[in-house]
Structure 1
């Protein structure tokens, strides 16, 4: 019974009941809504660009209608992938700026960059080079929105509902996909064949950017960042406002002391270490190197499993599966976006904490392999058949419908597995001393892999007669399943010592101790950061604070 783990929902309900009711207030939820809404940028771009690159009016405006299928596959790959290329640099650029300018100011700056990129795409006037440049600029902003909001939300959320608050950002990403697809569907229904068909949905990306941009002006900087800049009074006031409690309330005093303790612990952990020192520590210490390799491969397998590329080219793929007409394809892709949104929401709340990270990922990968294999087989068999030929055969029609269902199931499989697992595990496996550096590096690799897969997808579909792309993704998933089975442990709740022991052994033996025993679990009641800090670290931090207080008294 002691090893029984409650679900996230039950644990949250119990924790909420133990907290003062005042902390669940309008101001906290307003700040959460504003910062989470910036997640729409990534999903909106995916949904929008997936739709407009198949529009005849778009191809005509950019003088691409004369290109052969192979030529346009190459051009389409560059158009779609330029935003992900920009996101790589946006992600790297904000790492230092967020420490200097703060979370709020950095996101404001890159929101303006994103808006400039959307303007450029909307009014590129048929210039392909202008479209490339503006998509790259918009990508700079998109990359930032995948880093800073998660940091901010974690820092303002009460521990009892931290998981649910940070979840809102992930849901907004998938909500953006729904926006991108359904706006295109509605506009195509009334403006098919005109320039408005692609310009209007592109311009509509400005609306959520303006909403969260204006909203940011009214939200405060995070208490943790203010405290890191020695603005103790301001940090305390912001925390009191977010919790709707006076500064002498025990809850405020305990939480503020906890923030100070964590901050001091992190400062002590990296004291005197340069980026180069931490990089060397990552790759020269065997346990740390194994941690990095594990997460590097997780991000690589996650992107090259094909889910994001399928989303970006879903109207094209639905056309391959027998759905005819732009309007019908956009409707199908809109429903596809809804399936991803709902499955991410349900999985994150009810499933992942019930079956764990490892089982979730293995389940998701297995379902991906099955669905990708079926779609690939269908495309291989019907490769030379026209839509009319498929409709004339009852068996081919049934297979076509089944392949469409398989694509939707693939979206669910990705939500169960590779969508969130790399982020969750990255936050849990690295020691605090090298965590920030490694998560930043891995996020840049994440976007680089995203760019590579996005850029390659149309050419891969063309060169492999469509079915080969799905066979390739299925083979990647198969490789990832083998690796995950041997190398990925269940990380949630493990103590520092237990985590260290996992990476002292060769990767292919981790499966033998993949699931933690009662002795491997961290002491209950402590947060993630506290679990990662040893008694020795705590003593050092205490000494630093005592010395600091002594010097102030003198």
Structure 2
């Protein structure tokens, strides 16, 4: 759907003009990829930070009863997801009215405000900071894949959009190891030194600041500009981004494809009001099927149990026999490495080579099997393991650790990336913002529920928690929904778009547009053959 195979193997990418793979495109990719770090660092570091004695001392958690401490820790961890659900919904109007570019900038600033507030050693300020920062993370999680999908060359759209997820996993892995590093601090009074938890918490400020500094220098998406009638900028931005002259056939073709698609969508339903867009989603069968597929992908993306592992991996590893403290954090760090390496393989080689469906099937099967083993192991050997945890995991526990790593492989191979790529590319431009906003609202509100409930689930349900996740991975109805949204080869041909393109002059664009471009657009250096 994104145009063939990965950039290294794709026939389309190899036959595209070499000039379109230029430093400007790389700069765009790096800028938007920083947004993934906002999500990844928090998911990876908060679970470990909550176990640090210095954090417990700074926020008075060590003075509370175990039950009250667990409640507070659950609230702290989940508050970012609560903000994320609000941010995902709020990002839709800003994306359509401010534009993709300045929306990313705005929500990046909001994230930085929340991140700074999280450095204050006050419980109420921490919760407020996590909610505000969560709004920035939630909004960026919707805007960044959308921005990348709308600005990417068709032949590498899947790989570029998936890079956002790669950065989530990279920062998740780094956060695990930062937690492990600060847990090894052993000087006298470390348990009363706020520097320990602040180092781990403050790492998320770096990608947030870099994204805000870099975003003003990237162009707005041509699709957004065309959809909002900004004729003076639409072609100029495409020319700058592709680094081709205005008369180049690649520019002519891409520009007219975008314009024709937007025109068809606008002619089908005039206007941009909320009511008109909602009608377009729910009264058009094709749009509704795509909307249903994307929301279900995100729902089951969360039902994989990945948030329970990301936030509470040290405790889960303890359940299968890994001793607590630094050992659990070390095992968690290896878990992050497995995720990262697998995601690199998926993004760099598979996402545009074998499509989206097959990795979902394979990944779901691996995840279900892993969760089933962990559930059965804890059910029948958990008590023995916990009694003898000081001597390390039993052979069955070691197999359990391996299965959790297999789970990480399956998740990175399937649900980690596919739902983001699918949501970013299957919706028409006019309904893309609101559909993606709702998808990410589902993503974050379920994240909030799972994150808050996991400590209680592990205490009350124990092995049943993992059995539940195994059962949810076996839902066959989700596997067959691809037929409703993924077109056949014949259906991929937009005949209405082709007719509109043929009706225009393929050899040049509108004369008024050329006049507005000026000499810079006309004399852009020609691409190499």
Do they superpose with TM above 0.5?
A: yes
User: In structure 1, what is the equivalent of residue 521 of structure 2?
Assistant: none
**Does structure 1 residue 64 correspond to structure 2 residue 61?**
yes
What TM-score comes out, normalization by structure 2 length?
Answer: 0.85
**Does structure 1 residue 218 correspond to structure 2 residue 217?**
yes
Contact 1:367/1:410 (8 A) holds in 2: yes
Partner secondary structure for residue 177 of structure 2 = helix
RMSD: 3.2
Contact 2:3/2:12 (8 A) holds in 1: no
Contact 1:265/1:541 (8 A) holds in 2: no
User: In structure 2, what is the equivalent of residue 415 of structure 1?
Assistant: 412
Q: How does 1:390-539 map to 2 (within 5 A)?
A: 390=389, 397-426=394-423, 436-464=433-461, 466-478=462-474, 480=475, 482-485=476-479, 487-489=481-483, 492=486, 494=487, 520-522=488-490, 531=493, 533=494, 535=496
C-alpha deviation, 1:325, in angstroms: 4.1
Distance 1:417 1:537, change over 3 A: same
**Does structure 1 residue 157 correspond to structure 2 residue 187?**
no
The CA distance in 2 between the partners of 1:351 and 1:437, in whole Å, is 29
The CA distance in 1 between the partners of 2:288 and 2:500, in whole Å, is 27
User: In structure 2, what is the equivalent of residue 80 of structure 1?
Assistant: 77
User: In structure 2, what is the equivalent of residue 196 of structure 1?
Assistant: 195
C-alpha deviation, 1:230, in angstroms: 3.8
The CA distance in 1 between the partners of 2:45 and 2:512, in whole Å, is 59
**Per-residue displacement from partner, 1:390-442 (whole Å, max 9, x unpaired)?**
4669xx61111111111111111112232233344445666677555433322
User: In structure 2, what is the equivalent of residue 362 of structure 1?
Assistant: 361
**Does structure 1 residue 187 correspond to structure 2 residue 182?**
yes
Q: How does 1:79-118 map to 2 (within 5 A)?
A: 79-118=76-115
**Does structure 1 residue 374 correspond to structure 2 residue 373?**
yes
The CA distance in 2 between the partners of 1:336 and 1:251, in whole Å, is 43
The CA distance in 1 between the partners of 2:291 and 2:155, in whole Å, is 30
C-alpha deviation, 1:159, in angstroms: 2.0
User: In structure 2, what is the equivalent of residue 510 of structure 1?
Assistant: none
The CA distance in 2 between the partners of 1:283 and 1:251, in whole Å, is 35
Distance 1:292 1:264, change over 3 A: closer
**Per-residue displacement from partner, 1:360-397 (whole Å, max 9, x unpaired)?**
2222222111111111222223443465624669xx61
Distance 1:270 1:182, change over 3 A: farther
C-alpha deviation, 1:120, in angstroms: 0.7
Distance 1:302 1:165, change over 3 A: closer
Higher relative contact order (CA 8 A, sep 6+): 2
The CA distance in 2 between the partners of 1:158 and 1:259, in whole Å, is 12
The CA distance in 1 between the partners of 2:140 and 2:328, in whole Å, is 29
Partner secondary structure for residue 190 of structure 1 = coil
- What are the ranges of 5 or more consecutive residues in structure 2 without an aligned counterpart? 505-509, 514-529
Distance 1:416 1:61, change over 3 A: same
**Does structure 1 residue 22 correspond to structure 2 residue 19?**
yes
